[in-house]
Amino acid sequence: MDARTCVDLGELLRERVAEHTPRAIDCGVDLGLLEGPSVPVSVNLSLLSVAMDNLIDNALLYCSSGSHVDVSWGLHDGQAWWAVQDDGPGIAPEQQARVFERFERGTAAQDVAGSGLGLAIAREVAVKHGGTLRLEMPASGRGCRFVMMLAGHTTQAAPVA
């Protein structure tokens, strides 16, 4: 993997959300950022940015006007995590197991442009960082939440002088 950079996970997510906000407004989707703690991480900035863009982009593609997409982050058992959650159409149960496969596009994708590579790329980025990317589905079957864990990539914050 290319050189790593120390960044605050929340700051990077703020940048990515800001980049997607004009499109969200055009789509009539409420794109929000749920504030979290300072989480310094050592990551490949280019790769992680691509993964973030892919997950935010997917949420905007599949949500209709009036929907909500929330981006969040934090620490769990010493591991950094970040997530994109939406209240869109969700993913059919029979498609959930294949959602991270290359060129896989669900039935909801019939009217959505794309190649079916975004989630596969995002998962590969997680793996390259020693982490995971998982899909969580609410009991209602509406919407979905993608969570990336970045195993072992938190760093100590610089001491305040």
Cβ-Cβ contacts under 8 Å for 141 (sequence gap 6 or more): 90, 93
In a domain, 11, yes or no: yes
Helix (H, G, I), strand (E, B) or coil at 58: helix
> Is 17 domain-assigned?
yes
Q: Residue 144: give the domain boundaries.
A: 5-150
Amino acid identity at 27: C
pLDDT 10s digit of each residue in the chain, 161 long? 568 999 999 999 999 999 999 999 999 999 999 999 999 999 999 999 999 999 999 999 989 999 999 999 999 998 999 999 999 988 888 887 878 776 565 555 445 555 567 899 999 999 999 999 999 998 887 899 999 999 765 665 544 43
CATH of the domain at 63: 3.30.565.10
Q: Is 47 within a domain?
A: yes
User: Is there a domain that residue 158 lies in?
Assistant: no
Distance CA 130, CA 125 (A): 9
Distance (Å, whole) CA 55 – CA 101: 15
Give the integer Cα–Cα distance in Å for 17 and 59: 12
Nearest Cα neighbor of 38 from 160, 161, 154 is: 154
CA distance 105 to 102: 9
pLDDT score of 101: 75
Q: Would you state the pLDDT for residue 46?
A: 96
Number of H helices, E strands in the chain: 4, 7
Report pLDDT for 159.
40
In whole angstroms, what is the distance from residue 48 CA to residue 144 CA? 20
Q: What is the pTM of this model?
A: 0.86
Report how far residue 99's alpha carbon sits from residue 84's, in angstroms, rounded to the nearest whole number: 15
| Number of domains into which the chain is organized | 1
What pLDDT, on the 0 to 100 scale, is given for residue 49?
A: 98
- pLDDT at residue 102, as a whole number: 67
**Is 161 inside a domain boundary?**
no
